[in-house]
Chain A
Amino acid sequence: MLSPADIETLLLTFKVASITTALMLLFGTPLAWWLARTRSAWKGLINAVVALPLVLPPTVLGFYLLVLMGPAGVVGELTNWLGIGTLPFTFAGLVVASVLYSMPFVVQPLQAAFTSIGTQPLEAAATLRAGSLDTFFSVVVPLAKPGFLTAAILGFTHTVGEFGVVLMIGGNIPGNTRVVSVQIYNHVEALEYTEAHWLAGVLLVFSFTVLLVLYSAFKTHPVAHQLR
């Protein structure tokens, strides 16, 4: 069965993943919109940077973040100067790292959804007196709903399953940075296989259920139909 410590890691994980997902949607949406619409020469570069976490081993990304956000790193110096202190081993640092790490899982589905909408509905909205922000919320958001759903769920589940980056910058502090993936790892390393199984089982069932709901919902989603 799950120990109170295990439950603590589960709750912490969902807290990290929820805040991370919210932040990713907040920052990822305008970024994905820009990437979907722009003809700027910077597009390729920005696309590549966003996709980097997909290819970089998480521990490598984590190590760079550890260095960058550390007291001698650029980011660390900035946060120190701002009076926040350094980010590694803090909840905030974990969220920042997770946002960077899971960003492609949010930006890419959104970008694809925005691209597939094309310019036509936007022009139609403009000729019907809607300004650009109005158009975004009244046309783009409803048409990109499947994209937002995918982005949110992939971003959330990917953050839940994140391990390497957390390991590198979290410091494994109970209640603060010890998330469920690290806890499972700890159980395995400590030869506590039963505990590991329980926790891994909960994670597996959760992730599978979420993905199953997502993919079944897609099949019948009316908007997904119309996007064809």
Chain B
Amino acid sequence: MTFPISARFQLDYGAFQLAVDLNLPNSGVTVLFGHSGSGKTSLLRCIAGLQRAQTGFLKINGKVWQDTERGIFLPTHQRPLGYVFQEANLFPHLTVTGNLQYGLKRIGKSFATEYIQHILNLFGITHLLDRMPDRLSGGERQRVAIARALVLNPEILLMDEPLASLDFKRKQEILPFLSRLHRELNIPVLYVTHSQQEVAQLADHLVILAEGRVLTSGPLAETLSRIDLPQAQDREASTVWPVSIAEQEAEYHLTRVAFDGGILSLSVVDAEIGTPLRVQIYARDVSIALEAPTATSILNVLPARITGITEGQGGQSVVRLQVGALPLLAHITRKSALLLGLQIGMTVYVQIKGTSILN
């Protein structure tokens, strides 16, 4: 994998300091994850040029946007980016069309193109074009805001917790649009969030930030299964697997999906064969057996190899496994780990008690 986005920033506000040095892919969704105060939003604002780091270097697709050493700083309006704010931040004095055209006029592009029609359809806002922003629901506003950034066909789309201001129902309304955006447009996205659900659902590449520093940066499955990081101990620790629908077992209300190294059975997913899905597997739902269990109610039993073990709190062990090409985390008791004599490199069987389908 190449990393055409290089971002190095140093900010010092006394109480808060940011020091990052990141190389990121320019495809798919890169999630900047962290708690509030971790510096994820500051980092995004530095990339947008909305905030000016004391020391900074930013290169995207071979073009330098910022380099303090050489005195280069492209102001925000000269950076070919799209930005979606936490609040939709539409211009209240312009209609939806006016909002969508605002940026287009400034880059001298026409509104009536196929690409823009495609975006309007993708976000389901064609019927809203003549409305003023105060006549839109929160979810509609945020969809217009995302479309407004996308119609400029930016080189990168920056999203700052675009769902944080929405209630659960509105979030569920927007998430599918974001997934479609992911699949249908080839624009790299930098997505800031503190929601693990959004990470699991959207991230291809995950950057975890804490106290202004990067804890880890890498592909989602790898990053989630890092047992040296505190989040592997979390009760909500999980891994996410990309799968695709392989077979429907209508009589059992099951769907069989293929992943890189095997097949899983899931409760029924109403979609065509070949549809890509994300499956989230919580570490607490994975158990380990030394031999293939012959009589078990659990459908998903897969061969695996142990690639790491670490002792957690409260008599818990975290085991990292490799299933086919994909990593998996298991939370088991320390006693079980001892009784089974688990060692790195051992071949075992994992039983997956539950899965959740993310999209």
Q: 1/0 per residue A109-130: CB within 8 Å of B? A: 0000000000011011111111
Contact call A130/B93, Cβ cutoff below 8 A: no
Interface residues of B in 321-357 (CB under 8 A from A): none
Contact call B48/A127, Cβ cutoff below 8 A: yes
Contact call B92/A143, Cβ cutoff below 8 A: yes
Contact call B85/A128, Cβ cutoff below 8 A: no
Contact call A127/B93, Cβ cutoff below 8 A: no
Give A145 Cβ to nearest chain B Cβ, in Å. 8
Q: How many residues of B contact A (CB 8 A)?
A: 28
- In the complex, the chain A residue whose C-beta lies closest to that of B51 is A123
A139 interface neighbour in B76, B91, B152, B158, Cβ under 8 Å: B91
A138 at the interface (CB under 8 A from B): yes
A227 at the interface (CB under 8 A from B): yes
Interface residues of B in 32-81 (CB under 8 A from A): 48-50, 75-78, 81
A131 at the interface (CB under 8 A from B): yes
A3 at the interface (CB under 8 A from B): no
Interface size class of A (residues with CB under 8 A): 20 to 34
Give A21 Cβ to nearest chain B Cβ, in Å. 24
B106 at the interface (CB under 8 A from A): yes
- In the complex, the chain B residue whose C-beta lies closest to that of A117 is B92
A192 at the interface (CB under 8 A from B): no
Cα distance A142–B99 when bound, in Å? 14
B149 at the interface (CB under 8 A from A): yes
Knowing A120-B87, A226-B134, the reply to whether A129 touches B77 (Cβ < 8 A) is yes
Interface residues of B in 68-114 (CB under 8 A from A): 75-78, 81-83, 85, 87, 89-93, 102-103, 106-107
Q: 1/0 per residue A193-228: CB within 8 Å of B? A: 000000000000000000000000000001101110
Give A226 Cβ to nearest chain B Cβ, in Å. 4
Contact call A124/B91, Cβ cutoff below 8 A: yes
B89 interface neighbour in A120, A129, A138, A223, Cβ under 8 Å: A120
Q: 1/0 per residue B103-137: CB within 8 Å of A? A: 10011000000000000000000000000111000
User: With a CB–CB cut-off of 8 A, which chain B residues contact A121?
Assistant: 89, 91-92
User: With a CB–CB cut-off of 8 A, which chain B residues contact A227?
Assistant: 92
Contact call B91/A129, Cβ cutoff below 8 A: no
- In the complex, the chain A residue whose C-beta lies closest to that of B154 is A127
- In the complex, the chain A residue whose C-beta lies closest to that of B78 is A129
Contact call A223/B92, Cβ cutoff below 8 A: yes
B148 at the interface (CB under 8 A from A): yes
User: With a CB–CB cut-off of 8 A, which chain A residues contact B76?
Assistant: 123, 126-127
Give A140 Cβ to nearest chain B Cβ, in Å. 10
Cα distance A81–B85 when bound, in Å? 55
Contact call B89/A131, Cβ cutoff below 8 A: no
Cα distance A134–B50 when bound, in Å? 17
User: With a CB–CB cut-off of 8 A, which chain B residues contact A225?
Assistant: 134
Cα distance A138–B91 when bound, in Å? 10
- In the complex, the chain B residue whose C-beta lies closest to that of A126 is B76
User: With a CB–CB cut-off of 8 A, which chain A residues contact B89?
Assistant: 120-121, 123-124
Q: 14 new A-B pairs (CB below 8 Å) besides A126-B75, A143-B93, A225-B134?
A: A120-B89, A124-B85, A124-B91, A125-B91, A127-B50, A127-B81, A128-B102, A128-B149, A128-B152, A129-B78, A130-B106, A134-B77, A223-B92, A223-B93
User: Interface on A for B, CB 8 Å cutoff?
Assistant: 120-121, 123-131, 134, 138-139, 142-143, 222-223, 225-227
Listed from nearest, the 10 A-B pairs whose CB atoms lie closest are A128-B103, A226-B92, A127-B83, A126-B76, A129-B106, A142-B93, A124-B89, A126-B77, A129-B77, A120-B89
